[in-house]
Amino acid sequence: MSGKPLAMVTGASSGIGWAFATRLAEEGYAVCAVARREDRLEQLVGHLPGAGHSYLAADLANDEDLAAVGAELSTGAYQLLVNNAGLSVMEPFGEAPLAAEQNLLNVNINAVVALAHAFLAHGAEGDALVNVGSVVSYLPTPAMAAYSGSKAFITTFSECLWSQQRERGVYVMALCPGMTETEFISAATEGESDFSSLPDAMVQSPEEVVSEALQALDRRRDAVVVTGRSNRLLSQLPRLMSRSRLIRLMSKMGDPEDRL
């Protein structure tokens, strides 16, 4: 591991996190993978190229687990943090259990803030922080009220950090993918929805998302990176229509029972 840059990736047991860990290992990073499922983390670390990889099994909604991951970042050894862990609840707000909504906010907001703080407190010139948001940060989606709000927070929070950290030479990015071929929708809908009714052009693979993210990381220019041409077009909708019309549109487009 000597001489290798260190990266931590949260939510690494599947999807975008798994793809990030794999690509970063291929590019010479020693990766610390963080997720709840230890068996999947063992599988991931076992297939990563190179040496020096590790994992932390942690539920970022749990205060003790979150503190343990933050303590690891507070060593100051890491040059890159990918805050990727996130989840959604696709039930009407008020019908879903409050505990489920609070768990979502703990993972999507509280953990992102806590780990970003632990990382940036020891950040040095050349380091980078990637907070994974979503294109729904531009598109309020009634079917995912708390999720939409959490991703809007991540985008704005990251833009502010991007500005604050520039003088230090630390790069901060809000990465905003759209529909991606992961377990996310299936988990959020308890297996009731998939991507079968969506056009192929609207769905990216995790590897495509990560490829665009790493290209942007090399450039270190933009505060917000929206991946996929169709998502970049969708992100312009708030400029083209009223807020009320946009919300009505997204209440239809974002309903997994109708569209997914």
Q: Which residues are catalytic?
A: 147
Per DSSP, the three-state class of 30 is strand
User: How many Cβ atoms sit within 10 Å of the Cβ of residue 121?
Assistant: 11
Residue from 164, 11, 139, 1 nearest 82 by CA: 11
DSSP category for residue 54: E
Full strand arrangement of the beta sheet holding 6-10: 54-57, 30-35, 6-10, 80-83, 128-132, 171-176, 224-226
Q: What are the residues whose beta carbons fall under 8 Å from the beta carbon of 106, sequence distance 6 or more? A: 60, 61
In the chain, what are the helix, strand and coil shares in percent, each to the nearest 5? 50, 15, 35
Token pair belonging to 146: 């708390």
